[in-house]
Amino acid sequence: MTRRVVVTGLGVVTSVGKQLEEFWSNLTAGKSGIKEIKSFSTESLDRHFGGEVSVADEVSLLSESESKIYGRATRFGIEATHNAVEDAGLNVHADEFRKKIGVVIGTTFGEAQIIEKITSIYCAQGISRVNSSAHLKQYNPNAISVNIGKKFKFSGPNMVIPTACAAGNYAIAYASMLIKSGAAPIMIAGGADPFSHVSFSGFRRLGVMANSMCQPFDKDREGMLVGEGAASLVLEDYEVARDRGAKMYAEIAGFGFSCDANHMTIPEVGGIMSVMKNALANAGLGIKDVDYICAHGTGTRINDKLESEAIRRIFYDSGNTVPVSSIKSMLGHTMGAASAIEAVASVMSIKTGLIPPTINFRTPDPECDIDCVPNTARKSNPRVVLNNSFAFGGNNCSVLFANVN
């Protein structure tokens, strides 16, 4: 497990951009992707805004038959993976090469829209109208990673990790372990989640959804907003990347896991502290080594309060007043894709020296007494970035990215 793992390619599909340059430019400019939802009716839900991906179905990479049967999560994942592979300069047309590449994707709801479609057809037309090939087979939770592997002929390790809102980080950490163990020299790792009635109405019912604006760490924050999208990172064995002359954005310095073992929807500060400490220990880094924290930062009252408390107790009380920001203020909460998209932001922060802002910040909250990089990006040149993610059920994962030495 001594192999080094580096990031050599990045791809995103988000409400602020589907190309890496556009995504990063808009993110550091503080541009919001929140708008009125068009893909389904929200009339009965009393909430109408989210981080919707524009022109989501126009993926030129797909054949006509693929476009008809693949759900949005798969389509997002394929597009993000294509962009990441292109960015990494991988020769995916060489059979011997692509046999070595694996895929690990995190998700919360998977192809929820497929099951919604099945239910609609069943209720309106009867079970005989449900197409077992075009509908049921595409709903399997592993469909996203399988379809990505099939599309690019990647026949290495392949799986979906469904650890809810921390799933993207889990996928990155697990893919790193596969590379470190020698199971695969190259992995595609990331997350994908689409809008669905299930997710939107579920979070509305929980009473944690804001009206039209997500305000992480602000005293007057109302809650989260639902988003959608995907991100893929190309992870490689350092020596493989070096030998093929690949550019290296950053190194996976370490990662940590924890479970609150407490409550399905309410995080616990001890679990949050544990996952950050575990990541530092795994990386062999100290508290003062971290230059920026890409926060989970959902905009809900309890999450922001407890994440802030954990950061203060670990970092601030030890003299490291590390800047912390939440890009969910611009994208909404993209569920299983969130920490994967935030991983891309973490890596780009190291590459460009910029920290993206927490927008919509107006009133400081004494319970969130951290430097949240309010409203404007900051030039900081971080060398080590901690990417936090906390999920329902208390499933937590933090990943540390570092400048490649």
Reported as a single tens digit per residue, the pLDDT across 239-263 is: 999 999 999 999 999 999 999 998 8
* pLDDT-based confidence at residue 135 (cuts at 50, 70, 90): low
Sign of the dihedral through C-alpha 188, 160, 342, 314: negative
Residue 134 CA to residue 389 CA, distance in Å, equals: 34
Reported as a single tens digit per residue, the pLDDT across 145-160 is 999 999 999 999 999 9
E-assigned strand segments in 125-208: 158-161, 186-193
Asked if residue 188 lies in contact with residue 102, where contact means CB atoms within 8 angstroms, the answer is yes
Residue 73 CA to residue 198 CA, distance in Å, equals: 14
Structure tokens of 258? 């924890």
**Active-site annotation holds for 333:** yes
Asked if residue 339 lies in contact with residue 165, where contact means CB atoms within 8 angstroms, the answer is yes
Amino acid at 30: G
E-assigned strand segments in 303-382: 324-325, 354-355, 378-379
Closest CA to 342 of 91, 172, 116, 137: 172
Q: What's the pLDDT at 57?
A: 46
Buried/exposed code over 73-103 (b: 16+ C-beta within 10 A; e: otherwise): bbbbbbbbbbbbbebbebebeeeebbeebbb
313: alpha, beta or left, given left = phi > 0 and alpha = psi -120 to 50?
Answer: alpha
Tell me the average pLDDT across 32-52: 90
Catalytic residue among 82, 214, 294, 333: 333
Q: How many CB atoms are located within 10 Å of the residue 353 CB? A: 13
Contacts of residue 128, defined as CB under 8 A and 6 or more positions apart, other chains included, come to none
Residue 227 DSSP code: B
* pLDDT-based confidence at residue 120 (cuts at 50, 70, 90): confident
- H-state helical runs in 32-71: 64-69
Helix (H, G, I), strand (E, B), or coil: what is residue 10? strand
Share of the chain above pLDDT 90, in %: 76
**Active-site annotation holds for 296:** yes
Reported as a single tens digit per residue, the pLDDT across 60-104 is 788 887 877 788 899 999 999 999 999 999 987 776 678 889 999
Q: What's the pLDDT at 216?
A: 98
The hierarchical CATH code for the domain 5-243 is 3.40.47.10
Q: What's the pLDDT at 344?
A: 98
pTM: 0.94
Tell me the average pLDDT across 49-65: 77
Q: What's the pLDDT at 178?
A: 97
* pLDDT-based confidence at residue 342 (cuts at 50, 70, 90): very high
The most confident of 109-123, 125-139, 354-368, by mean pLDDT: 354-368
Helix (H, G, I), strand (E, B), or coil: what is residue 87? helix
Reported as a single tens digit per residue, the pLDDT across 266-311 is 899 999 999 999 999 999 999 999 999 999 999 999 999 999 999 9
Structure tokens of 143? 């469909």
Asked if residue 312 lies in contact with residue 217, where contact means CB atoms within 8 angstroms, the answer is no
* 226 pLDDT higher than 60: yes
Asked if residue 298 lies in contact with residue 225, where contact means CB atoms within 8 angstroms, the answer is no
Asked if residue 146 lies in contact with residue 159, where contact means CB atoms within 8 angstroms, the answer is no
Between the CA of residue 139 and those of 129, 163, 251, 268, 320, what are the distances in Å? 16, 17, 34, 33, 46
* pLDDT-based confidence at residue 42 (cuts at 50, 70, 90): confident
Asked if residue 142 lies in contact with residue 192, where contact means CB atoms within 8 angstroms, the answer is no
Catalytic residue among 82, 135, 165, 372: 165
Tell me the average pLDDT across 124-138: 67
Q: What's the pLDDT at 110?
A: 78
Catalytic residue among 214, 294, 296, 372: 296
Tell me the average pLDDT across 195-211: 86
**Active-site annotation holds for 123:** no
Asked if residue 4 lies in contact with residue 237, where contact means CB atoms within 8 angstroms, the answer is yes
* 121 pLDDT higher than 80: no
- H-state helical runs in 284-332: 301-314, 328-331
One CATH from 3.40.50.620, 3.40.50.720, 3.40.47.10, 3.40.50.1820 for 254-402: 3.40.47.10
Instruction: Output the average pLDDT for the chain.
Output: 92
Regarding beta strands 35-36 and 5-13, do their DSSP bridges make them parallel or antiparallel, or are they unpaired?
unpaired
Residues of the chain with CATH 3.40.47.10: 5-243, 254-402
